[in-house]
Structure 1
Amino acid sequence: MKFLHQLVFSSLAVLMISACSDGALKRRTAEGDFEYLDSKLSTAWKMPQDAELQLYHDYDIPAGNYQGALGEQVDIRPPQSVLTLIPGVRIDSGKNRIIFWTVKPQLADQIWHVIAQFLEQHQVARSQSSASMVETSWVTWAEEDEVSPVKTRYRYTRLQQKNQYGVQVSLVDMQHSGTEDEALYNQDRYTVMMANAITTSYDRQAQEDAARKSRQMAQQIAVAMGTDRSGLPVVIARTSYDNMWQRLSDSLSQVGFHIDGRNRSQGTIKAKFSQPDDEVWQSLGVKPISLDNRTYTLLLGDLGNRTSINITDGDDKPVAEEKLKEFAAALSALFQ
């Protein structure tokens, strides 16, 4: 649906469309000719003189006057349906209204918040507003398949029935240049379109929130002391080897380690340690790492969804456990 690209909101302005009426009609009208509308009834059936007429009423066409569009006036656009993009919501559709029902009051609050953001983002004026009801001024739609713009007004209402919480989207008024039949068809169509505008906005925000949380999880790495298979102390970071390799390489300089060389396949980083100023440790809220100013080797091990880190000195001997704890505390502060 091209709603977000084709919709123009305004309480005053009227969008003028030029040179597109023919295209809009083609998108709404069936192909081919409509000569069948001019067909005449054939002459009555004449029975042979000696034949006996047998009448069967299985296929009788009831008498009546058809009250609807014919031929090229028939709108062939498929009916709109509400997009089920909000988990935990039940859709209740009625005449010129859609209700989002949920048993979670916080979810109803979120939907109401999305509506408020949506109206603000698209600069939709409000004719009436309260804590549980919002009514809009005119909204102008510029759809590719409309011959001329359609203007609508909506009401959003908060509902509650026992342990269910609802948000209702209602079409309260419409201005349309078409026939009465077209107006009735469009009332349902534009009610659903506005409901879908809300559901797609909610879905987009949910995806953005999930992406942001994912980035935060990638940035926030839990670091603690542990032991390797031999029982020796190591630093354990709760993240994958690939992520830790990159994050550690980017972060070591902030705590006094200046990288001289790296070997990813072997999991080794050679770095020279120079004690930073006291302000560095104060900003991190941790004790200084009490290492000598010399070159060390950091050893990274792949533990699946975790990564082990150890530090050895120039003689390939592990540093003291207390110094490793200080290093772990510094990393933990960096990765929060």
Structure 2
Amino acid sequence: MSNLGHRPTIAMILGLLSVSFLSACSRNGYDKHQAISYAPTLKIDDPKELKAPDGMVLPTRNQYFYIPFVAIKSESDTQVDLKPPTQSLMNEQNLHAQISGNVGILSIHGSSSLISSQIISILQKNGFVTFHRQDIHKNLFTNWVRWNSSGDDKNNCYSGRYQISIQQSGSYQKIKVILIDLRQKNKEVTSSSQIQNYTARMCRYLAQKLNMMIYKNQTVPMISKNYKQKIHAYSGTNDIGLSNIILCASFDHIWSWLPEILKMLNIELKERNYSHGSLKVKYTSLSKKTIHKLGVADINFKNGYYKLQVGDLGSYSSLQFFDPKGHLVNRLQHEKILSALKLITIKNK
């Protein structure tokens, strides 16, 4: 009987020993090792120059970005430039920019012959003098361009001379800006960061002015007057299977043709962006008199604002309508507007 009384006690002792043993085994000793391993890292030796392998240039560079190397002249008491960083790549909605060193390239969609004259006009309006022009090659050189300083000291302003040229590359025109020389107080500036900064400054100025002109449709290419006779429409789908309208005419033809056609359907043009091919319009229901005059059925649109997207397919164009919420119009509305466009194009021939 006495042995039976000791059994629960022995079992409890064995259980406690087992729990203690398991907890000791499961304890993570990494925390201690981790804390100890951090101590030496607090002792940092003198910084050493990073050696790149043969054939590799650090920092890496390509046609899209370039990080200039800045040499440190002294270990202490180095003058710090507190000016905000320069936004080298602009967010102009109609242009794309690439800046690398003293070369900047602006890419603009289209093949307008007016770009060269627009560039000259922009420079003249701002008082930038050109001392040499090659109109045949669309190439010019500016005289010294004085950039106003953001500070009060006007004596520290920078002046630069630029070469600006225009080339056609596929469906884009590329405006190349090269900073030939940069000076401050008649002294040559060799700082790579300042050279890139003032290259970007000229590119930004041209981009802003050109963007305003494009928005006002001053650079839309001239097209023949009889293009309307060749336009006809049919239904299609895009790459992901969504309905769109295919128009048998180039982007530039459709861009000039749409405002007149939309007006017939009581669709008022509010905004348009040539580079993006987008239009913001306001629709008001057609009156019975207008429907009878055009010979079309009601297009079944609700009154309100819509977005039109024109796509460039080479000798063809695509057209999509989006409702006020940004959704593609439904199948019935798509068929209605397609039918109306077909009738209008036939009557205009």
- TM-score exceeds 0.5: no
What TM-score, normalized to structure 2? 0.40
Q: TM-score normalised to the size of structure 1?
A: 0.42
